[in-house]
Structure 1
């Protein structure tokens, strides 16, 4: 099986296990989503260009083919919807396209992965989404992102990579929230404003209703983060209502940040002759001491993503060394965590793109497992 496809399948299976433990959404007459004009008016957060989506409509009518792509965290993947393939916001938006253009072949690519942010997104977008040549992309990372400067930089890199990709897709950005109304939309908005990308805020549409007592959180979610069917329907309604409007074109602005993540990608894992490490769909893994695992990578920024676990009996310690320098100890124990977690660790942040040797050395009792999911690089 192709490694990238196997990796995506693995992450999808993780999400399904995660979703199993979420409270299921009940579809009742009470949960029938509605759209109110004041919600929609509050949801539109910025001044945006109009031509990209107008161009998408023309493609759909002329070419008779259209690919809709989404990228984000567990909400985009469909967590907490009663049917992630039917009642989550993304497939509902796709249904709108199919009804709007019944003679057009509509393809759908869902690149949502639970518990991930735009830093991982910018590194994986090439293989997980852009390789399918989407015509329009919806971005959602407003709940999972973290760190102001890193968030703005990785989010901008993601947007620029999408805008400059082969198919020149249009972009819509979403601002979601958790139970307390927390969202990273403030920092995403700065980037979207710079590129005149439309930003639709589910958070600003509904949170005032909750604050004023006109709505309770349990109407739109059965946990602290993930929308139920009604919540997903409202997100979809905000997006599809917006898609009815006419758009104008504007050229790509100069970068808002230093634009360091535009060329971000996932370093391709290939076979390495090392009897002490195994390459699987989950990445490189080992359970015992032995020969270090080494990679030669040319990059200016290097992020390694490895798996953490709440099981202290299986959590391994590994040393990572960059260019034979100081060893950095990595612990895979996720203390007070909720389950296995793909943890990103930045081991290099430089202004120069140079060749580096990364070495991983197991340093624990045999039987404990270390899994290196991927190496994310900015050339």
Structure 2
């Protein structure tokens, strides 16, 4: 009993220490800071304006806040020609956002980048969030210091209580630290939605249908319905964009000394033609063609042969892969230098369909590394894994293979 009490006390004081060193930021609907002056200057001059949306599934959703705000920009500012850069991938956080930023956003030379990861970064430490968000900011401004950035915050059921207590959750609080340091405007789309829920005018979770009091925000407490939750999100962004027209002055954004020494400004995604591989990795289009992520993952190679290998040599402290996981994916072995192999599952309880995914190994020693990847000979109990979400295997043939579907390599 004393041992249990000691453990509980240790956990409590550890949590208290973290809370004291990483204070939560009081929540507000928007903070304009240095504004979006370059973005609006190009609009006023009637030029071509490129708007990038970097985020997760809430931003990826068709007919959601992304679509609604982009259509509003087109109709509200007819003198300009708007180009959309869709760079949102469901189930991914700001860490992956930093690694893929050059490939999915910066190569298209955006004028404004919306960054939305507050929900998918839930559960990560404040330090990790700050490192990845600062890496995103610094990469953008290293390419073009006239590119404007706007952080936008969504929310999910686990974060509701934070807002109702008057603070941002851990993820958004960490993002606000970076926004303050670099004077980046932020808009909390979550703020008015939470207020409606608190006032009883909106229900967080339920069936789609009612768009009048009480509206239903979402089916799952995370992904808003287009007619309700996403409408609130979009109206919030529109309202503050109108005010932001008058905020800030043109001039190159200041790329100050990094706040976080280990930020992800040097994170990158290597294409498949940059890596060494054995001969048994044919290109596979079946897991890409027609998928929502097709434009962001143009080539995938695959193998279920345990003797085939991928080999990467790099200098850095982190390594990862971009892949597709689904019914026929399996487990991989990752050998780093002379260390024992790491076994990483590329199949999970959601793998009843194919989706773009990633995994990252952090904390490597600074210096040169050699990494070898092979398919593991171990056969996963996929039925047991799927049971975590009460999913069942109806067609065993779809699940019998154990492939690695590789789309790219992540290095820092």
Of residues 340, 343, 355 in structure 2, which corresponds to 1:326?
340
SS of corresponding position for 2:218? coil
Structure 1 residues 366-375 or 156-165, which shifts more?
366-375
When residues 279 and 272 of structure 1 are mapped into structure 2, their CA distance, relative to the original with a 3 A threshold, is farther
Structure 1 residues 139-148 or 202-211, which shifts more?
202-211
Q: 1:60 deviation in Å? A: 2.1
Of residues 108, 130, 136 in structure 1, which corresponds to 2:112?
136
Preserved CA contact (<8 Å) 2:135 2:264? yes
Q: 1:341 deviation in Å? A: 5.8
Q: Give the match for residue 375 of structure 2.
A: 362
How many Å separate the matches in 1 of 2:32 and 2:145?
A: 24
How many Å separate the matches in 2 of 1:336 and 1:367?
A: 17
SS of corresponding position for 2:45? helix
How many Å separate the matches in 2 of 1:316 and 1:100?
A: 48
Of residues 224, 228, 246 in structure 2, which corresponds to 1:227?
224
Gaps of 5+ in 1: 1-40, 79-83
Q: 1:144 deviation in Å? A: 0.7
Q: Give the match for residue 384 of structure 2.
A: none
Preserved CA contact (<8 Å) 1:72 1:140? yes
Gaps of 5+ in 2: 1-26, 161-168, 207-215, 285-297, 380-399
Preserved CA contact (<8 Å) 2:272 2:407? no
When residues 317 and 55 of structure 1 are mapped into structure 2, their CA distance, relative to the original with a 3 A threshold, is closer
How many Å separate the matches in 2 of 1:332 and 1:237?
A: 38
Q: 1:239 deviation in Å? A: 1.2
State whether structure 2 residue 215 is matched by structure 1 residue 201: no
State whether structure 2 residue 148 is matched by structure 1 residue 161: no
When residues 107 and 193 of structure 1 are mapped into structure 2, their CA distance, relative to the original with a 3 A threshold, is same
When residues 69 and 342 of structure 1 are mapped into structure 2, their CA distance, relative to the original with a 3 A threshold, is closer
RMSD after superposition: 2.7
How many Å separate the matches in 1 of 2:349 and 2:73?
A: 44
SS of corresponding position for 2:202? coil
Once the two structures are superposed, the pairs formed by residues 89-168 of structure 1 within 5 Å of their partners are: 89-145=65-121, 146-148=123-125, 149-166=127-144, 168=146
When residues 68 and 316 of structure 1 are mapped into structure 2, their CA distance, relative to the original with a 3 A threshold, is closer
State whether structure 2 residue 278 is matched by structure 1 residue 274: yes
How many Å separate the matches in 2 of 1:123 and 1:362?
A: 24
Deviating 4+ runs (over 4 angstroms): 306-309, 335-343
Preserved CA contact (<8 Å) 1:133 1:167? no
Q: 1:348 deviation in Å? A: 4.5
SS of corresponding position for 2:261? coil
Deviation sequence 1:284-313 (CA, Å, 0-9, x none): 32112223221222333222344554x5xx
Q: Give the match for residue 11 of structure 1.
A: none
Preserved CA contact (<8 Å) 1:68 1:109? yes
How many Å separate the matches in 2 of 1:201 and 1:290?
A: 50
Preserved CA contact (<8 Å) 1:304 1:347? no
Preserved CA contact (<8 Å) 1:288 1:367? no
Q: Give the match for residue 25 of structure 1.
A: none
Larger Rg: 2
Deviation sequence 1:70-95 (CA, Å, 0-9, x none): 110011111xxxxx1xx321122222
When residues 272 and 58 of structure 1 are mapped into structure 2, their CA distance, relative to the original with a 3 A threshold, is same
TM-score by length of 2: 0.71
Q: Give the match for residue 247 of structure 2.
A: 247
Structure 1 residues 125-134 or 319-328, which shifts more?
319-328
SS of corresponding position for 1:177? coil
Q: Give the match for residue 213 of structure 1.
A: 200
TM-score by length of 1: 0.77
SS of corresponding position for 2:140? helix
